[in-house]
Homo-oligomer: A and B are copies of this chain.
Amino acid sequence: MLPMKIRIAQNAGFCYGVRRAIKIADEALEKNKSIYSLGPIIHNPQVVSEYEKKGLKVVESIDEAKNAILIRSHGIPPQIYKLINKKKLECIDATCPFVKEAQDYAKQLYEEGYFVVIIGDKNHPEVQAHIAYANYQAQVINSKEEAKNIQAQKIGVVSQTTQSVDNFVSIVSELVKKAKEIRIFNTICDATEKRQESAKELAQISDIMIVIGGKNSANTRKLFEICLNFCKKVYYIETKEELKKEWFYNVKNVGITAGASTPSWLIDDVIQAIESIDNDIH
């Protein structure tokens, strides 16, 4: 029997902004033995503890930081930059350029006199920064119902980058009825959508799909559900240890995808483990 063909979905795992942040952290850690990260660099405990060993210490506020501080992809309010300056800390800024763009739009809309509406989750750090860029005058909403309560003649809209297009459009169509002028910056990043699209495509040509990610990661669960619609055998694992030999009997095409906070070395580990199963059984 032929060996299995293992394919990894395009856009599996980290998005551009997170990969970039990790790279910036790596480069900084080469020069600097001890760096402080304002909040965890990504929502993955393995990655965080690995980086802690390399010298990246997670802090909750600037007060706890010394020497150098890393800003993760979600960005921070402009006031925090001032604090960093004041404390004369080196600022290693890994804010995702797409997030930065949304911040700039929030600021511009506020300055041009728009009533700023941010579509997203008001507790998310990215959105917290957007609010700050709109001089704390922004209204955060996440549903059509909340949109109904907005009253303004000149509305400016930005979105949390991970917002779903459908929810965004449905909220905007409500807002359009409320204002004389509405100016919308569609700041949705297509990383999530592309990851899901690629998973779907790969699931259609695979005999088995392995979805890698934290069991409590909402975006990984979504990937798993999408794959289930297009492939008969789909398994959801956190690490290679959960793989089972018998899954791969009579399998020719293996597809792999991973959630947004799954690092590439974790994906590589899984691939190697599957290859050795392949050698074993075929």
Q: At the interface, yes or no: A115 with Cβ under 8 Å from chain B?
A: no
Q: At the interface, yes or no: A173 with Cβ under 8 Å from chain B?
A: yes
Q: At the interface, yes or no: A169 with Cβ under 8 Å from chain B?
A: yes
Residues 4-29 of chain A, each 1 if its beta carbon lies under 8 Å from chain B, else 0 = 00000000000000000000000000
Q: At the interface, yes or no: A168 with Cβ under 8 Å from chain B?
A: yes
Interface residues of A in 137-183 (CB under 8 A from B): 165, 168-170, 172-173, 176-177, 179-183
Could you tell me if A176 and B180 are in contact, using CB atoms closer than 8 angstroms? Answer: no
Could you tell me if A172 and B180 are in contact, using CB atoms closer than 8 angstroms? Answer: no
A184 to B168, CA, bound (A): 16
A184 to B181, CA, bound (A): 6
Give the distance to chain B from A194, nearest Cβ to Cβ, in Å.
15
- Looking at chain A's contact residues, the main secondary structure is mixed
A173 (CB) vs chain B CBs: closest residue = B173
Residues 73-114 of chain A, each 1 if its beta carbon lies under 8 Å from chain B, else 0 = 000000000000000000000000000000000000000000
Could you tell me if B183 and A181 are in contact, using CB atoms closer than 8 angstroms? Answer: yes
Q: At the interface, yes or no: A136 with Cβ under 8 Å from chain B?
A: no
Q: At the interface, yes or no: A185 with Cβ under 8 Å from chain B?
A: yes
Give the distance to chain B from A102, nearest Cβ to Cβ, in Å.
11
Give the distance to chain B from A115, nearest Cβ to Cβ, in Å.
14
A182 (CB) vs chain B CBs: closest residue = B184
Give the distance to chain B from A193, nearest Cβ to Cβ, in Å.
12
Q: At the interface, yes or no: A219 with Cβ under 8 Å from chain B?
A: no
A105 (CB) vs chain B CBs: closest residue = B181
Q: At the interface, yes or no: A186 with Cβ under 8 Å from chain B?
A: yes
A153 (CB) vs chain B CBs: closest residue = B186
A156 (CB) vs chain B CBs: closest residue = B183
Give the distance to chain B from A265, nearest Cβ to Cβ, in Å.
34
A185 to B184, CA, bound (A): 11
Could you tell me if A179 and B186 are in contact, using CB atoms closer than 8 angstroms? Answer: yes
Q: Which of B177, B183, B184, B185 contacts A169 (CB 8 A)?
A: B177
Query: Which residues from chain B contact A184 at a C-beta distance below 8 Å?
Result: 176, 181-184
A184 (CB) vs chain B CBs: closest residue = B182
Q: Which of B173, B181, B186 contacts A172 (CB 8 A)?
A: B173
A177 to B188, CA, bound (A): 10
Query: Which residues from chain B contact A182 at a C-beta distance below 8 Å?
Result: 183-184, 186
Give the distance to chain B from A174, nearest Cβ to Cβ, in Å.
8
A interface residue numbers (CB < 8 A to B)? 165, 168-170, 172-173, 176-177, 179-186
Q: Can you identify 17 A-B contacts, CB atoms within 8 angstroms?
A: A165-B177, A168-B176, A169-B176, A169-B177, A172-B172, A172-B173, A172-B176, A173-B176, A177-B186, A179-B186, A180-B186, A181-B183, A181-B184, A181-B186, A182-B183, A182-B184, A184-B184
